[in-house]
Amino acid sequence: MSNRRFALATLACAAIGFIASSGSALAQSDYPSKPVKIIVPFPAGGTSDVMGRMVAEELGKILKQPFIVENIGGAGGVIGTERGVKSAPDGYTLIQSGVGQNAVAHGLEPLPKYNSNTDFVHLSQVHSGPNVLVVHPSTPFKTLKELVDYAKANPGKLDYGYTPAASGHMAMELFKQTAGLFMLGIPYRGGGPMMTDMLGGTIKLMFINQDVALQHVKAGKLRPLAVSSAQRNPLYPDVPTIAESGFKGFEALSWSGMSVPKGVPQPIVDKLEAALVQAMGSPAVKQRLESQGFIVPPQGSKHYTEFVKSEEARWTKVIKTAGIKSQ
């Protein structure tokens, strides 16, 4: 090839590269230019779905494109999360991450087909809330100490309900390990059947999300003994924390956030992160969450990435210590 032809070929390649990079930059600056999907890896109607739809509504207002929730349930959130992490890393698929699918699942067999620390870019945390330890009113327990004293004096005599791998399950396992208790757990496929048996007195105690328990507590059908957060919950101002009740440092939370698959261009990541921080800083969103006993946690990708990593390590240790197997 002559020098002239070589020079022309070089210029052509450079031009093509410039056009491609310019087109890519333009696409990123115009993001989003079409509807965006949010995969919520749980069925419609639950707390996760409510949080996902709230975020979709707020992001749609800020970024001027529809954010559409797609519910893909199964395996405690793992199936939908696996689907999401395999999606194109273009910013048009967000994944609702959370305690079950991004922390608890990594301690259970079979392991999920993703790594929550390396296969995602975690954008920001959305919500955090405690579980509340409730007992049936027919039990004599008025305080957590009374329950612990009875359980220690009568190992194996107390039955509790749990939904495998849910935040309430993990809270109970951590509590048993912390307090040195042996109690019998009865697994349920979902929170609905478990609540039915709890209200009927078939099981005597359980950890359950504070928003789910509230109506039954107010009606006197459940008695709350303690909340699993580090601070008291505004919906249960007279109910002490487990830490207050003699188990210093105890904390077990339900939480969720928003993530994208690894490889999404940084300008799009930055735009989504900024929009989420703006959405979660809205007084209307804050009031909506706090009215249900949730809090808006610290925002941003750095905090959420570190939080997910610490939660995975924490619950994997609890699971291995308890010898929990997949149901």
What is the per-residue pLDDT for 22? 43
Of 167, 137, 188, nearest to 294 (Cα)?
A: 167
- C-alpha distances (whole Å) from 327 to each of 220, 311, 314 are 32, 21, 20
Judge if 82 and 218 occupy the same domain. Answer: no
Residue 10 lies in a domain: no
Judge if 163 and 115 occupy the same domain. Answer: no
Output the six-digit token pair for 137: 């009113």
What is the per-residue pLDDT for 3? 59
Judge if 136 and 124 occupy the same domain. Answer: no
Predicted TM-score of the model (pTM): 0.86
**8-state DSSP, 104:** G
Judge if 49 and 116 occupy the same domain. Answer: yes
**Omega prior to 32 cis, within 30 of 0:** yes
Judge if 84 and 140 occupy the same domain. Answer: no
**pLDDT by position in tens, the chain (length 327):** 555 665 555 555 554 554 444 445 545 679 999 999 999 999 888 889 999 999 999 999 999 999 999 999 988 899 999 999 999 999 999 999 999 999 999 999 899 999 999 999 999 999 999 999 999 999 999 999 999 999 999 999 999 999 888 899 999 999 999 999 999 999 998 888 999 999 999 999 999 999 999 999 999 999 999 999 999 999 999 999 999 999 999 999 999 999 999 999 999 999 999 999 999 999 999 999 999 999 999 999 999 999 999 999 999 999 999 998 875
Of 322, 272, 326, nearest to 95 (Cα)?
A: 272
Neighbours of 79 (CB within 10 A): 16
Residue 3 lies in a domain: no
Please name the residues in contact with 74: beta carbons below 8 A apart, sequence gap of 6 or more. Answer: 41, 80
Judge if 182 and 94 occupy the same domain. Answer: no
Of 42, 50, 38, nearest to 211 (Cα)?
A: 50
- Helix H or strand E segment including 127: strand 120-135
Residue 246 lies in a domain: no
Judge if 58 and 92 occupy the same domain. Answer: yes
What is the per-residue pLDDT for 214? 94
Structural domain total, the chain:
2
Of 130, 198, 190, 122, nearest to 160 (Cα)?
A: 198
Output the six-digit token pair for 188: 């349920």
Neighbours of 321 (CB within 10 A): 13
- Helix H or strand E segment including 72: none
Residue 304 lies in a domain: yes
- In single-letter form, the type of residue at position 208 comes to I
Output the six-digit token pair for 187: 């697994």
Neighbours of 205 (CB within 10 A): 23
CA distance 168 to 208: 5
What is the per-residue pLDDT for 128? 95
Of 138, 120, 117, 129, nearest to 51 (Cα)?
A: 129
Judge if 124 and 264 occupy the same domain. Answer: yes
What is the per-residue pLDDT for 309? 98
CA distance 115 to 319: 17
Domain containing 155 equals 130-227
Domain at 158, CATH number? 3.40.190.10
Helix (H, G, I), strand (E, B) or coil at 155: coil
CA 124 to chain centre: 11
Domain at 49, CATH number? 3.40.190.150
Residue 13 lies in a domain: no
